[in-house]
Amino acid sequence: MTMPDIRALVPHSGAMVLLDRVLSADDENLCAEVRIRADSVFCDGEAVGAWVGVEYMAQAIAAHAGWLALRRDEPVKIGFLLGARRYEASRAHFSVGSVLHVHAHRVLQGDNGLGAFECRIDDGGAAPVTLATATVTVFQPDNVNQFLQGGSVV
C-alpha cells in the first residue's frame, strides 16, 4: 500500500514538518522515517539533540491521526501534545546522516479526545537498535477553535 505524503497527514507546514515519510500504518500503529541532515530543523550542523525525539514522536502520532482521518474521508485536525512520560534516550544526539524510524503505538483513545501512545525511535538499520522511548499523551478536541477560546470541548 502506498502511503500518503507526510504533509497531507500532519497539520504542520514548511520546515516544521520534521518527518520525511510514513513507512507503514494501521489502526493502532504508525512508523515514520526521518533522515537527519545538516539543514534539518534543530540541527547544529552536526547533530540534532535527542530531546527533539519527543517532537518526532508527537508528529508520528499526528500522522497516525491524519492517516485515520483520511481513511474516514474526514479532514486532518489539529491536536496537542500534553506530555511525555519516561522519555529515555540512549544517546545525547542524532548525528547527521542518521536514518531514524519513529514508531507510535496507540494504547488508549478516549471519546473525549485524550490519547496515549507508546513510542520509540530506532536507528533504522537492518537489525534496529532502540535509541529512545516514551509514553506520549495527546489531546485532539472536536472543535479546536472552541477549545482555544476556552469553551467546553466535550
| Rounded mean pLDDT, 104-109 | 97
Structural domain boundaries enclosing 36: 6-148
Taking a C-beta distance cutoff of 8 angstroms, is the pair 77, 148 a contact? Answer: no
CATH of the domain at 13: 3.10.129.10
Q: Where are the alpha helices (DSSP H) in 1-153?
A: 53-71, 144-148
Q: Is residue 154 part of a domain?
A: no
Strand partners, 89: 132
pLDDT at position 146: 81
Per-residue pLDDT band at 117 (split at 50, 70, 90) = very high
Share of residues in the chain with pLDDT > 70 (%): 97
Q: Is residue 1 part of a domain?
A: no
pLDDT at position 1: 65
Structural domains in the chain (count): 1
Q: Where are the alpha helices (DSSP H) in 1-121?
A: 53-71
- Conformation bin of residue 86: beta by default, left when phi > 0, alpha when psi is -120 to 50: left
Q: Is residue 64 part of a domain?
A: yes
Q: Is residue 153 part of a domain?
A: no
Per 3-state DSSP, what percentage of the chain is helix, strand, and coil (rounded to 5)?
Answer: 20, 40, 40
Taking a C-beta distance cutoff of 8 angstroms, is the pair 41, 16 a contact? Answer: yes
